[in-house]
């Protein structure tokens, strides 16, 4: 039986890629598909990925970060660490 499950990583490709690798390994080790799906759904709710970004251009352009914040960071030449919240918005960590 071929099964497919689609989930949202709330715009975080890194998180989605990690879950893809993890799910593939779990299924290869014999875990049932339904169990893996349930674990992914539970884990997504409790997982944050922190990323250092060189440019906020795409975060501003996509609307995840306000233009004024992007302008201030660029003006001050600050490197940020960001995460994506449950609604898909960028959250500045430091």
- Residue predicted with more confidence, 20 or 15: 20
Domain residue ranges of the chain, discontinuous segments joined by +? 13-45, 51-92
User: Is the pLDDT score of 10 beyond 60?
Assistant: no
Say which residue the tokens 């349930």 belong to.
Answer: 38
DSSP 88: S
- Residue predicted with more confidence, 35 or 42: 35
The set of residues, in sequence order, having a beta carbon less than 8 Å from that of 85 and lying 6+ positions away, is 10, 91
- Plot region of 86 (φ>0 → left; ψ -120 to 50 → alpha; else → beta): alpha
- Residue predicted with more confidence, 40 or 76: 76
Q: Structure pTM?
A: 0.47
In angstroms, how far is the first alpha carbon of the chain from the final one? 46
- Residue predicted with more confidence, 53 or 13: 53
């Amino acid at each position: 039986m071929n099964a497919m499950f689609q989930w949202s990583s709330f715009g975080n490709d890194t998180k989605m890629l990690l879950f893809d690798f993890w799910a593939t390994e779990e299924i290869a080790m014999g875990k049932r598909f339904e169990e893996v799906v349930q674990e992914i759904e539970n884990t997504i709710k409790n997982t944050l990925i922190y990323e250092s970004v060189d440019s906020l251009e795409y975060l501003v352009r996509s609307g995840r970060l306000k233009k004024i914040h992007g302008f201030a960071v660029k003006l001050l030449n600050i490197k940020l660490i960001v995460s994506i919240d449950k609604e898909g918005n960028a959250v500045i960590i430091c």
